[in-house]
Amino acid sequence: MKTKVPTAHRFDSHDPDIIHDFLTNAYGIEMTLRAAGSYRFRHHRVDAGHFWLETVEHSTRLEIEVGRVGALVIGQVVSGQIDRTCARVSGRFGPGDVFLAAAPGLPYSVRWLPGKVRLCVLNLSVLTKVTGGAPPDRVGTIQFIGLAPASPALAQLWRNTTSYVNHVVLGNPYAYQQPLVIANAARMLAASALAVFPNTTAGWPTTTDRRDATNATLRRATAFIDEYADRDIEAADIAAAAQVSLRALQLAFRRHLDTTPMTHLRRVRLDRAHRDLLQADPRQETVSAIAFRWGFLSHSRFTARYHAIYGFPPSRTLHA
């Protein structure tokens, strides 16, 4: 998954024609807007390649018809009220509410009172990567069978995840300039979206998956991880290298190592960070820079994990 350094874009206008042209170009889809008189429209986007985090606000009542959406658009109302209809499923959302704008590939309509909303726009390829693509025993892509969070607790999970990515990752230039950090943030958002909104990705290992969950599979997978730990690899890449399905890969790690492929990958990256700390010049390197290089999003969590494994903080290793 290619990554890019996040870039910020701002738009602010009172002109309805300019606002319409901006929105159709910004999202690459056809839409119509009807406004109750003149209004101001403001849009702020941080573009991280495979995901965008946006803040959108306006000052009137808008009615918007949106064409087929080729991404997953998740909203969180900050102020005002939104009435959304997609595939004859309607919902009304107020401050704090989390919702899907639409199921991917379907048009939708919105009636939006003056206010502000935060949006996360996720490239569908990230969702496919997280799930390993369509399982061999199921035809088609991921389908969302609900446009609202499965529970209030899961809605809070989404709010916490986007807040973390926005402040801890995108708010730190040392973090967001590291490709592994941005790639991990995209996967975190995708995994949270799949956990929060009902969808068709759940399933049990097949007989073939259980048969393929062997030591040989584990050896191929761990060899691939050891060689490419510095690259933006995912569970689906590891499964492909091991020549098995994603479920078989997960079962092999659980059966033989009592862990998951991505947890094992993070441990390997932690060991590589430990090696870099041992070799680094403390006058030129920092713990945070080395942690970010190996894809660890949070300095405090990296320090806690490092201390749990090695028995002392990474700063001691760097300054030894």
Q: Are 76 and 97 in contact (CB under 8 A)?
A: yes
Phi, psi (rounded to 5 degrees) for 260: -115, 160
Residue 214 per-residue DSSP state: S
Residue 104: predicted pLDDT: 87
pLDDT the model gives residue 153: 93
- What is the structure's pLDDT at 115? 96
CA distance 120 to 55: 9
Model pLDDT, residue 144: 87
DSSP state of 243: T
Whether 117 contacts 56, CB under 8 Å: yes
Domain 7-165 has CATH 3.30.450.20: no
Question: Which residues of the chain form CATH 1.10.10.60?
Answer: 175-318
In the numeric block, the tokens 């206010």 are attached to 115
How far apart, in whole angstroms, are the C-alpha atoms of residue 223 and residue 116? 48
CA-based max dimension of the chain: 67
84 phi/psi in degrees, rounded to 5: -115, 135
CATH class assigned to 175-318: mainly alpha
Scan for tokens 């606002």, then name that residue. 19
| Cα–Cα distance measured from residue 276 to residue 289, given in angstroms and rounded to the nearest whole number | 11
What is the enclosing helix (H) or strand (E) of 63?
strand 62-66
Q: Where in the chain is the domain with CATH 2.60.120.10?
A: 7-165
3-state SS assignment for residue 286: coil
Ranges in the chain, pLDDT < 50:
134-140
At residue 3, the pLDDT reads: 60
